[in-house]
Structure 1
Amino acid sequence: MTGKDKILIVDDEKINIAVLTSYLTDNYDVITAYSGEEALKIVKNDVPDLILLDVVMPGMDGFDVCRIIKHDYKLDFIPIIMLTALTSRDDHQKGIEVGADDFLKKPADRFELDKKITALLRIKEQHDSLLRDRNKAYEYLDYVGVLIAVLDRDYKLIHINQKGADILGYNRNNIINRDWIDLIVSESYANFVKRKYDMLLDGIMDENECSEYPIMTITRKERLFKWHYSVLKDAKGNITNILMSGEDITEKRKDEIKLMEYARELQKSNDIKDLFTDVLRHDLLNPAGLIKSFTELLEETATSERQENLIANIKRSNIKLIELIENAAKLAKLESIDEMVFVKTNISQIINDVQDNFGQELKSKNMTLKIETFGQHQALANPMIEGVISNFISNAIKYSPQNTNITVKVENFTDKWKISVADQGDGVPDKDKEAVFTRFNRLHKESIKGSGIGLAIAKRIMDLHGESVGVVDNPEGHGSIFWFTLKKML
């Protein structure tokens, strides 16, 4: 390969070929043929960039050779200069009809020959460049994941990418020049689609407007597509074609319908939850309050030790019931909000205030609450953080044996405080450490004590703070350490 353009000289006279070869050999790769039949074989096998073609030859003349190359071979553009001693207008007209690009009178003038070859090769290079760009564009369209099609003004398909043909199930060569609406649009949508196309072609519809309509595959299976449009124009600005891209949204639409159904069911569920919360707050809490009042009256009128024990059991059970109702309502309220207001909070002060609430319970079990905090511990928190600390201490008292210690610590971890409550109870098995904070995962956890609502509330409060909460084994013997973190307030 020399990188030079390849020129085929066709002439039955050797002297003519020799002269032309001498003119061209320095700048071009020259190949020769001495008959029309030989020229056609060379064109097929060794596609030249330009052909110098004699008209008058024995057998197949230059007009026949030109016609076959231009009309039958369907090769990319190859410029043909016809060399002829014929000068009549009819001969020139015949040459134009068979596809000749230029004419040169014999004997050829070297300067004129060079000028015509240069001009036609420049045109061929531009033509080939356009073809390369077009082929690259078509190749790109074959890889995009949507259907791309081009229609003419009669709704005929003049191009479709491979992806589009695959979606429809057709060989794209078999559907080019077919009526697009008759081919894939169901009869019930045909008039709607025609109106859309006509509005585009008449410049009435905005190109940014899109539409949805179903199409039929080769198996007559219906698929819903979303269509985007553009118009193509000629050099004079006249609209000639419609370029459209279609995205298959069949499954997406089904998913949207399912999502809407799910949203409706979720709304029903939320309505039921709200109803249940109202029942907890009013319809259940009011009777529980009455039971509390009646129990206090019965305590004053008890006449025997047995009555006192029964009343005490009723009172304890009712207190648990009221606590459960209040916590369930509180959890429901927390679950319905997405954010909290945070303020500057002294964690040490909150811990000291909380411990005063548990004096009687600690005394009844002969337990000691040790608070290991030193100095100020300013954090960014919501006042509900007090409930988390109270819950951890309350659980530690409930589920630890008598004569044990509970330790509350505040530890410094760079930009956070870590607050922990350590007990000496039975502890939490490793397999339940995560579930202990999740109320609805605990319905059949016999190894976990309590209702779990308090810890679920604590977990929700910490989630709204964007902080962590957890439980680990107490390294100092039996028991657990419940902990959470808070951002420091500098």
Structure 2
Amino acid sequence: MIVDDERINVALITSYLSETYDIIAASNGEDALKIVKTESPDLILLDVVMPGMDGFEVCKIIKQDYKLDFIPIIMLTALTSRNDHQKGIEVGADDFLKKPADKFELNEKIRALLRIKEQHDSLLTDRNKAYEYLDCVGVLIAVLDKNYKLIHINKKGADILGYKRENIINRDWLDLFVAETYVEHVKSKYDKLLKKGKSNSPEYHEYPIMTLTRKERLFRWYDSVRTDEEHNITSILISGEDITEKRKDEIKLMEYANKLKHSNDLKDLFTDVLRHDLLNPAGLIKSFTEILEEKNPSDEQKRIIDNIKKSNLKLIELIEDAAHLAKLESMEEMVFVRTELGPIIRDTIESFTPEIEHKGIKVDMLSGISYPVLANPMIQGVFSNLLSNAIKYSPDSTIIRIKVDDVGDKWKVNITDQGDGIPDKDKAAVFDRFNRLHKDNIKGNGIGLAIVKRITDLHGESVGVNDNPEGKGSIFWFTLKKAQK
């Protein structure tokens, strides 16, 4: 851009440069300033003596505008005094040429200043890309000078604080943003960081900051120093993550953990009560009913004693099952050994012989084929509970079938009864004691099947229930891993 009120001077310089550069011109200072803001020229050749605003004033205005201050300005002047030269330096001129300009000297000065501007523009582009990246990250990133004034902050940080960036640049970080009770603590941290010299790793600490609305937010900060080429510290780079909600959640989680521990303590206490304090009176009731049976009671008394015995046996079974489930719930893993399914199933059936004979039920059991599995001895509790339920809820004189299927690397055990069955909508809840508390259409207290589920879970196996395809009833099944022969 050429700024000169003499047309002949503009024409002469244009003839020197037009083959290499695009030329725009202005004949006075006011027009020059308007064109500079719209065209952003790469270099300005500026006459000093012009009507109205002279070249010194034009140069000063351009150099005071941060968006224009790095446009190189060569002042063209017939003035040669030392004072004029000094005045040009003071207003920010980059170089001087005496009129009339020599073509060779003019070209050399322009090339030199444009090389410098090109390097500046490249650095500016890299800086802007870095700032754009910082604006995209989800944490507050800022730069403080050695007096702890804010010299840069990313968009996210300004948004968190509630300010526009231009309104907080060059403001004191400690005074404006740090909560008053933490100012001395934070200043001490930053003072030590500046004294360390070059920092090898970021400094981590926490302190709250105040937003525009004076709302306090807790941040976790990572601080490091910035240095120049001689490794002198120039500023502090701080990045902060808002952990206000996270800290609230941590406190809630800690409170919940304490409540959970208290709940577990109560659960352990209740389990001990089940095993000892409740089981002992139930045992005494059982003993007293046996004594009463020996006293030649009347028929009515026998009926009452028999009802007491049955109710007490149910109570003892419930207490023992609840204690057993509590023990299983506290277990996290089991030891597995190689064992045979056949003997386990036959022993379980034999233990229920009185109940089976009483109801006239036939148990169609598996053949003598070998079924080696990897299991814990507690697996017998699965057979026992499933067979007990099948007997309990099957009509008299019906058949219970026990079958083992080969399903690849596992055995699938099926226990089929001819009872009332389980509705499809309740099948998913039948093994969950807590989901069954109000299921009126599901028989039993649910503890036995909860024990079955827990033992199979500890084995890493599956358990379920299907409808009996042959008619009424259900098929309860579970899987076990085969043992290598």
TM-score normalised to structure 1 length: 0.91
Is 1:185 equivalent to 2:175 in the alignment?
no
Q: Aligned-pair distance for 1:308?
A: 4.0
Pair 74,362 (structure 1): closer, same or farther in 2 beyond 3 Å: closer
Q: Aligned-pair distance for 1:304?
A: 4.4
Q: Aligned-pair distance for 1:339?
A: 1.6
Q: Distance in 1 between the 2:66 and 2:424 partners?
A: 80
Pair 199,207 (structure 1): closer, same or farther in 2 beyond 3 Å: farther
**Structure 1 stretch displaced more, 343-352 or 417-426:** 343-352
Q: Aligned-pair distance for 1:486?
A: 2.4
**Structure 1 stretch displaced more, 101-110 or 406-415:** 101-110
Unaligned runs of 5+ in 1: 1-7
**Structure 1 stretch displaced more, 266-275 or 21-30:** 21-30
| 1:438 counterpart residue number | 432
- 1:85-484 to 2 correspondences below 5 Å: 85-203=78-196, 208-302=202-296, 304-372=298-366, 375-484=369-478
Q: Provide, for residues 120-151 of structure 1, a one-character-per-residue CA deviation record: whole Å limited to 9, x for no partner.
A: 21211221122222222222222322222222
Contact 2:226 2:233 in 1 (8 A): yes
Specify the code of the residue in structure 2 equivalent to 1:89. R
Q: Distance in 1 between the 2:408 and 2:19 partners?
A: 82
**Structure 1 stretch displaced more, 417-426 or 290-299:** 290-299
Contact 2:360 2:396 in 1 (8 A): yes
Q: Aligned-pair distance for 1:301?
A: 4.1
Secondary structure at 2:434 match in 1 = helix
**Structure 1 stretch displaced more, 290-299 or 401-410:** 290-299
Q: Aligned-pair distance for 1:391?
A: 0.9
Pair 316,94 (structure 1): closer, same or farther in 2 beyond 3 Å: same
Specify the code of the residue in structure 2 equivalent to 1:379. V
Q: Aligned-pair distance for 1:76?
A: 5.0
Contact 2:62 2:69 in 1 (8 A): no
Secondary structure at 1:440 match in 2 = coil
Secondary structure at 2:430 match in 1 = helix
Pair 28,379 (structure 1): closer, same or farther in 2 beyond 3 Å: farther
Q: Distance in 2 between the 1:72 and 1:184 partners?
A: 29
**Structure 1 stretch displaced more, 327-336 or 38-47:** 38-47
Specify the code of the residue in structure 2 equivalent to 1:423. D
Pair 487,22 (structure 1): closer, same or farther in 2 beyond 3 Å: farther
Specify the code of the residue in structure 2 equivalent to 1:477. G
Q: Aligned-pair distance for 1:73?
A: 7.3
Q: Distance in 2 between the 1:444 and 1:58 partners?
A: 98
Contact 1:207 1:231 in 2 (8 A): no
Secondary structure at 2:402 match in 1 = strand
Contact 1:200 1:206 in 2 (8 A): no
Secondary structure at 2:281 match in 1 = helix
Is 1:83 equivalent to 2:73 in the alignment?
no
Contact 1:200 1:207 in 2 (8 A): no
Secondary structure at 1:225 match in 2 = strand
Q: Aligned-pair distance for 1:307?
A: 4.3
**Structure 1 stretch displaced more, 102-111 or 255-264:** 102-111
Contact 1:435 1:441 in 2 (8 A): yes
Q: Distance in 1 between the 2:122 and 2:255 partners?
A: 55
Equivalent residue for 2:54, pick from 43, 50, 61? 61
Contact 2:422 2:467 in 1 (8 A): yes
Is 1:36 equivalent to 2:54 in the alignment?
no
Q: Aligned-pair distance for 1:206?
A: 8.0
TM-score normalised to structure 2 length: 0.92
Pair 133,72 (structure 1): closer, same or farther in 2 beyond 3 Å: closer
User: Identical aligned pairs, as a percentage?
Assistant: 71
Q: Distance in 1 between the 2:479 and 2:346 partners?
A: 18
Secondary structure at 1:75 match in 2 = coil
Secondary structure at 2:24 match in 1 = strand
Q: Aligned-pair distance for 1:480?
A: 1.0
Q: Aligned-pair distance for 1:388?
A: 0.6
Secondary structure at 1:441 match in 2 = coil
Q: Provide, for residues 251-287 of structure 1, a one-character-per-residue CA deviation record: whole Å limited to 9, x for no partner.
A: 2222222211111111111111111111111112222
Q: Distance in 2 between the 1:449 and 1:281 partners?
A: 25
Q: Distance in 1 between the 2:234 and 2:174 partners?
A: 17
Q: Aligned-pair distance for 1:371?
A: 2.4
Pair 399,16 (structure 1): closer, same or farther in 2 beyond 3 Å: same
**Aligned Cα RMSD in Å?**
2.4
Secondary structure at 1:145 match in 2 = coil
Q: Aligned-pair distance for 1:374?
A: 7.0
Q: Provide, for residues 66-85 of structure 1, a one-character-per-residue CA deviation record: whole Å limited to 9, x for no partner.
A: 22221257425211122334
Secondary structure at 2:23 match in 1 = strand
Q: Aligned-pair distance for 1:48?
A: 0.8
